[in-house]
Structure 1
Amino acid sequence: MIDYEHDISAIDADLIRHGMAAIHLVRAGDQAALVDCGTGHSLRNVQAALAQKGIAPEALRYIILTHVHLDHASGAGAAMRAFPNAQLVVHPRGARHMIDPSKLIAGATAVYGEQAMAEMYGDILPVDAARVIETQDGFVLDFNGRPLEFIDTPGHAKHHHCIWDAQSKSWFTGDTFGLAYPECTVDGRAFVFPTTSPVQFDPVAMRASVDRLLSRQPEAMFLTHYGKVTGVPALGRALLSRIDAHVAIAKAAASAGDGRKQALLAALTAYLIDELRAHGSRLTHDQAVDVWGLDIELNAQGLEVWLDGAAA
């Protein structure tokens, strides 16, 4: 657990490796909320963090999902059972998948298989519809006197919103503001790049969402992947440039035929390694690729889906 200012902490979600996904704990007086909840395996870390801080399970009042991709939301059903007074706050396009997760489970199982699903995500349980709050663009949640504002931020997913915390003058960004792993930070400067994973990547919408976040002149961003980043204006410029670069790489690979996927993987890897070098990182090629894990693979998959949709 990492403690920040303004009663915000990052709890490691225990997804694949340490530092891969964060669950943010926010306190307002005697109440607490989570932003994203990780997987079914993440609950033990959350419960340990609450116990360490002296927060009773009954004081956890909200579980807020930035979107319903499994690394962010598959543990929601288990968490709602563990925290009896909690309400689930979710984008209206994602709410039905939390109430009945059968389609999410079927789709992911078809990709990963049952054993890998259990290892990565644990049990994915339904959430009682009566405990679900659906947001709209501009919705403000009164979290025990600490207002949290929700805005619609498509681009990574159509069921994505970001949350403005006026107290810290910061956004909880889910995946909209990209990925910034601690291992790639150099002299306090984060290295951020977009996640274009399938199936709803939309570069125009993503750019607009990033611009909307930046327009609030935030002091920090809290990323699910991973934690608090500052120096936001420079990060924003870098992220927008890298969104454009991902699109250019995809268009360049579009004519590669059966070799398109491999061309995308090679070009994305080379581009991100070059950018990381320019950032000043001393990670080796293999170390960087190990940190990014499946991200390059997922980005390539998402770009292929986008290319096929753009050509349709």
Structure 2
Amino acid sequence: MPAQDGIVTIDTGYVRPGFCAAYLLVERGRAAFIDTGTGRSVPKLLAALDAQGLRPEHVDWVIATHVHLDHAGGAGPLMRELPRAMFAVHPDGARHMIDPSRLETSARAVYGADYDRHHGPLEPIPESRVCRIDDGQVIDLAGRALRCVHTPGHARHHLSVWDARSRSWFAGDTFGISYRELDSARGAFIVPSTSPVQFDPVALRASIRRLLAEAPEAVFVTHYGRVTGVQELGTRLIAQIDGMVDLARRSNGSPDRHQRLVTGLARKYTANAQRQGLVDTDEVVRLLEMDIELNAQGLGVWLDRQ
């Protein structure tokens, strides 16, 4: 995809086309990646860099919004290819990038048999190349300020990146999931991401409000791409979080709790799609099938923590 404001959206190829994005920022001949996809995504990232006329030594930063494998699984193999880059990550995620063994064990528990099909090998990043990013810390990309803020809720170690040049956030999963196939004349379709294992509704609502307070023109989400109409989308996300928490509480104590969560989420998202003017609601459920399952798991883990 061509660069706009020096921003290139890269389809990482995870699961299906248009499902998972990484971003390349280019400024005065220097570059930064925000998120990496999985280990299988690295050739696509390097190809995007080459398409901008840049080489691996032109990359100064690789920034992870968080260390879930669809966002940072490719960080180790990518860093091996980038001789000058530093890796920026929330302090609580750094240890998992330096030694990814526990991260892999946790991911295998979540994804089961699908793990090997979708994820490449995890590689450690030397600690000397890992930069633990404080809340509000600014990363300099050839004079372009990228301000990183901690945005927990989807994960405790989540951060988002504010780019004042484009007045945009790179928000990972904090600003939900929005697939371009589900856009309509009424704008983008969006749902929160409550996937396991650290969903916190109070923190997530606060993080979304923090993003909205900057009055952004756009948000770049990992799943998938650039969304606008941000204030309305953020209001919708907060309302949906409340509804999903209510569903979780009503399902708690049931012997078939997980199935009730899956069914209830599918109904909620179908109703949202109908309000969005989308006619083929079966297609909505098909596209969101993996997210429905993971969101149900995340709500269950949250209930068990209460």
Band of TM-score, shorter chain: over 0.9
* Residue 88 (structure 2) aligns with: 89
Q: Give ranges in structure 1 of 5+ residues lacking alignment.
A: none
Distance 1:239 1:111, change over 3 A: closer
Deviations 1:113-159 (A, max 9, x none): 5x632321111000011111110111011111000101111100000
Cross-structure match for 2:290: 294
Which aligned segments of 4 or more residues in structure 1 are displaced greater than 4 angstroms?
none
More off after superposition, 186-195 vs 174-183: 186-195
Aligned amino acid, residue 302 of structure 1: G
Aligned to 1:277: 274
Instruction: Give secondary structure in 1 for the equivalent of 2:33.
Output: strand
Moved more, 184-193 or 226-235: 184-193
Given candidates 178, 182, 185, the residue that maps to 1:184 is 182
Residues 232-291 of structure 1: per-residue CA shift (max 9 Å, x gap): 1111111111111111111111132x1111111111100110111111113331x11221
TM-score by length of 2: 0.97
Shift of 1:47: 1.5
The amino acid across from 1:100 in the alignment is: D
Give the match for residue 141 of structure 1. 139
Partner of 2:10: 11
- Which amino acid in structure 2 is aligned with residue 273 of structure 1? T
Q: Aligned residues: percent identity?
A: 47
Query: Of residues 196, 199, 202 in structure 2, which corresponds to 1:201?
Result: 199
| 2:75 alignment partner in structure 1 | 76
| Aligned partner letter, 1:289 | V
- Cα separation, 2, equivalents of 1:216 and 1:112: 35
Counterparts of 1:248 and 1:293 in 2: how far apart (Å)? 21
C-alpha contact 2:269 2:285 (8 A) present in aligned 1: no
Q: CA deviation at 1:56?
A: 0.9
Listed as ranges, the matches of 1:162-311 within 5 Å are 162-187=160-185, 189-256=187-254, 258-285=255-282, 287-310=283-306
SS in 2 for 1:280: coil
Kindly provide the CA deviation profile for residues 201-242 of structure 1, in whole angstroms up to 9, marking residues without a partner as x.
000000000000000100100001111000111111111111
1:60 — aligned with what?
59
State the distance in 2 between where 1:188 and 1:222 align: 19
TM-score (norm 1): 0.95
| Residue 111 of structure 1: how far off its partner (Å) | 4.1
Question: What amino acid is the match of 1:306?
Answer: W
* Total equivalences in the alignment: 306
Which amino acid in the other structure matches residue 178 of structure 1? G
Q: Distance in 2 between matches of 1:82 and 1:271?
A: 43
> Which sections of structure 2, spanning at least 5 residues, go unmatched?
none
- Across the aligned residues of Structure 1 and Structure 2, the Cα RMSD in angstroms comes to 1.2
Q: Secondary structure at the match of 2:253?
A: coil
Match of 1:41 in 2: 40
Instruction: Tell me the alpha carbon deviations over residues 70-124 of structure 1, each in whole angstroms, 9 at most, x when there is no partner.
Output: 11001000000111111100000000000000101122234445x6323211110
